[in-house]
Amino acid sequence: MSDALLPVVPEPNPVRLAGTLALAGLLSGLALAFAYDTTLPRIEQNRREALRRAVFEVVPGATAMQKLAWRGGALVVVAEDERVDSAIYAAYGPDGAFLGYAIPAKGAGFQDTIDLIFGFDPRARRIVGMRVLESRETPGLGDKIFKDPKFIENFDALAVEPEVKVVKHGTKHAANEVDGITGATISSKSVVRIISDANAIWLGRLFEPGSEPPLPEGQR
């Protein structure tokens, strides 16, 4: 067939093409923004509920909590949905009695950031529970920091003085020692380092035992 018989396709107008692409990008952006604004409240609510459950897990017996932030050189109660740079939580029992603090902390692990929370009893000066909230440590090894019950039990009555330290698995004999995970020493040490760093920040800021803020009647 002769080239002369082929239909001539006009080149697209560059201005019109650019306008079409810009409009498509604008509509896509608006759709993404709408989806984000629609789902964000639910995501935030789910995150708060997950954190609340974690607080009650790491402070045994806790059924209520108050959010605390460091402001103006003092620890103060803030609204649960108030955005702050960092916060801890005072935990209370069914009768409103103060039981301890839940302290979120995060830091570098072997693979990525480890996000965790631990409970602290200021009277006994002991950690009373620990849960990993988010981690991407190596499956089968580093992930034992949240899958191995024996490792997690290390933090059920762990002394913070003189300082928390990791020892070779099976050699723990002191109240401030954590049995490391065989084959995942770095992840074990990372958890302890993250907790120790958080202790260095928060333990000196806590209320004197007996002077903790009371839980309002309506929250019991």
Is residue 16 in some structural domain? no
Quick one: residue 110, left, alpha or beta (phi over 0 = left, psi -120 to 50 = alpha)?
A: alpha
Q: What is the mean pLDDT of residues 8-15?
A: 69
Is residue 13 in some structural domain? no
Contact between 187 and 109 (Cβ < 8 Å): yes
Number of domains in the chain: 1
Is residue 23 in some structural domain? no
Q: Is the pLDDT at 215 greater than 80, yes or no?
A: yes
Q: What is the DSSP letter of 175?
A: T
**For residue 85, what are the domain limits?**
45-219
Which residues are registered as beta bridge partners of 106? 115
Is residue 14 in some structural domain? no
Q: How many helices (H) and strands (E) does the chain have?
A: 4, 9
Task: Render pLDDT for 118-171 as a digit per residue (tens, 0 to 9).
Answer: 999 999 999 999 999 999 888 888 899 999 999 999 999 999 999 999 999 999
Q: How far is 46 from 164, CA to CA, in rounded Å? A: 32
Is residue 146 in some structural domain? yes
| CA-based max dimension of the chain | 98
What is the dihedral angle through the alpha carbons of 15, 16, 18, 22, rounded to the nearest 10 degrees?
A: 130
Whole-model pTM? 0.80
